[in-house]
Structure formats: C-alpha cells, structure tokens
A and B are shown apart, each in its own frame.
Chain A
C-alpha cells in the first residue's frame, strides 16, 4: 500500500539537543512538506520541497533544517535554536506543483510526530 510514514510517533528533546524527525513516502510524489501544528491551531508551513535536492523555507523555518537527498525522504531536524519546539509535526506530499498547474493538488499526510521537551 502506498502512503507516508513518520517516525517516531513521540519524541522527547533535551535542552540544547538537535533531533531529527523522519518522513518517508512511496507515492512517487515530487513535492513534500513539513507543517507544525500547535494545540487548537491550524497548520503552519516550516519547509517544502518541490523536487530532489531543492527546498524552500515556509513561514516558520527559523530553528529548523531539512534535506531532500532522495525523492522518498524528507527529514526535518529541530535544532537547539528552536526555543519552543513542543508541537505536533506533520509531513505531507503531493504531485509536483508545476505539473499540476492550476489543478487540484491534494496533500497526503503522514500520522505525525509529537515532539515534547524534557
């Protein structure tokens, strides 16, 4: 079955520590996204990637970093510079925006990783 997997489901970070959240998809999608969701809030875009070896900052990129070395994988690192990292992190993928043009671009989400600070 095709889909998006995220691991771990829960992650605990110590003060000053960098942690990496995994996101893998086998949907053959070119575009991948990382969102942050705080309790009772909407989704805020951290980073997105339209194609391998390219990624763009979203609205709240400070304190985060990403890489896109493979089409299937888009890991997110929460660095020590992110002072308030406690949140629900969601990874999503979709077909390439430029290929879809003005048409529907459904985003498919992974189950999420809940990050907590010790």
Chain B
C-alpha cells in the first residue's frame, strides 16, 4: 500500500529553526514534494526532491533519503507568516498514471 507519515503539529519560536519530517511507503517512488497551506487558503508548492540530498530555496530547505524513505522540510529564521500547515506529497506511479499521494499535514504553530 501507499502511506505517508508526518507529525500532526509542531511548535516553534519566531526566529528559530524547525524541521518537519515525512516518512513514506509507496510502490513506485519518483519524488517528494512539499506544499504550504495557510488557514482557509489553497496549497502552494514549496519544493521538490527526486534525488538524495538537500535542496535549498531561501529560508526553506528540503532533504530526501531514498534509501530510508524519508525526507524533511527545514524552515529557518521563522516568521509569524510561516504559521501554516505543511504537506509532504509523494509522486507515485499507479498503474499507468502518476499521482501525488498526500500526507495528512503538519500544523506549524509559531510563538513570538
């Protein structure tokens, strides 16, 4: 079967660094994506990893270890506007089609 596990909630302090983990189990893994969703809003794309290693985009970085079926999103210099839910999603091949399989999301709470 296919499944993704991520913590339901993470709390951090403004200006700090926080890591959101994601472990996955899929049949045909192609890549791991991260999306951000503010309350009441639509998800927006943050990053994508197809190969092992760290991808950096400004204050956000994403890491993937294919051998461990594990990835994480790292947020640095946290700002109050980073308070949102973060979803990991795996690009998987289901029969002849590709789909994004979504985690349940991690709610990031930032305290001043």
Contact = CB atoms under 8 A, between A and B. Distances in A.
Contacts, number: 55
Q: Interface SS of chain B: helix, strand, loop or mixed? A: strand
Given A102-B31, A102-B50, A107 B100 contact: yes
A90 interface: yes
Q: How large is the interface on B (under 10, 10 to 19, 20 to 34, 35 or more residues)?
A: 20 to 34
Contact of A104 (B48, B104, B105, B107): B48
B91 A105 contact: yes
Nearest to A110: B42
B87 interface: yes
Contacts of B41: 111-112
Interface string A90-118: 10000001101011111111111000000
Contact of B104 (A42, A56, A58, A98): A42
B48 A106 contact: yes
Given A102-B30, A109-B42, A110-B42, A48 B99 contact: yes
A44 B104 CA distance: 9
Contacts of B105: 41-42
Given A98-B98, A103-B31, 20 more contacts: A40-B107, A42-B105, A43-B43, A45-B102, A48-B99, A90-B42, A90-B43, A97-B97, A102-B31, A102-B50, A103-B50, A104-B31, A104-B50, A105-B100, A106-B45, A107-B43, A107-B45, A107-B100, A109-B43, A111-B42
Return the 6 tightest CB-CB contacts between A and B, nearest first. A97-B98, A109-B42, A42-B104, A104-B48, A43-B102, A102-B30
Interface of B: 30-31, 33, 35, 41-45, 48, 50, 87, 91, 97-100, 102-105, 107
